[in-house]
Amino acid sequence: MPDFSDEAEVTGEVPGEKVALRAVLLARRRALPAPERTVAAGRIQAELTNLVRRLRPRRITAYVPVGSEPGGPDLPDRLLDALGPTGDLLLPVLRPDLDLDWAHHGGGVLVPAGRGLREPVGDRLGTAAVGTADLVIVPAVAVDRRGVRLGRGGGSYDRALARVAPDTLTLALLHDGELVDRVPAQPHDRPVAAVITPSGGLRPLPAG
């Protein structure tokens, strides 16, 4: 099964600046040595743990990092630990139209899915479930200092972010060097309010 997170695929996106920037950054991710990725994941997880314990959200939506994506493959379990027994973690389920459904994750098995992803096996809650979260954690290839996010090109998380309440904290996880000066923006792009990087920790952005 291909490692979707490390493939510079674009679905439904016009080639241009975004495609070129994505290819460069994904190549840089692929070149990161495994020990460096592990250290980076630990720092991101520690920062997220502190944030969750401080905010005490009732519900989080997050994702399952694969390949060289920031946060490490055990990120959902670390978030569950930080939430405690009263918290609720939702993880995405990719639909055939590339929109995102959501399901509860209670620390159970994550099953292999298309594009190299891993998904929860619980009941599907619908695409609108992301709008019930108090903290929304999303993947990104890059984010600029305005909060504009560079994703995978399929628009999955732009659609999800459009369903999030304006006062909900939206947060992207990045490797060092992926908070950039400018990401080419399109009308459908949805900004995030903050990022976490291994060296810089939590950084609020103008969208917040």
Q: What is the pLDDT of residue 207?
A: 55
For the entire predicted model, the pTM comes to 0.89
Question: Which range (4-8, 59-63, 161-165) has the least confidence?
Answer: 4-8
Burial of residue 71, with CB atoms counted within 10 A of its CB: 0-12 exposed, 13-18 middle, 19 or more buried: buried
Q: Is the pLDDT of residue 79 over 70?
A: yes
Cα–Cα distance, 25 to 30 (Å, whole number): 9
User: Cα–Cα distance between 90 and 100 in angstroms, integer?
Assistant: 11
CA–CA separation, 163 vs 143, rounded Å? 20
pLDDT in tens, 127-167: 999 999 999 999 999 999 999 999 977 889 999 999 999 99
The domain ranges of the chain are 4-204
Q: How confident is the model at residue 5 (pLDDT cuts 50, 70, 90)?
A: very low
Mean pLDDT of 49-66: 95
Residue bearing the bigger pLDDT, 186 or 27 = 27
Distance CA 32, CA 93 (A): 27
Reported CATH class of domain 4-204: alpha beta
Alpha helices (runs of H) in the chain, residue ranges in sequence order: 17-30, 34-55, 75-83, 156-161
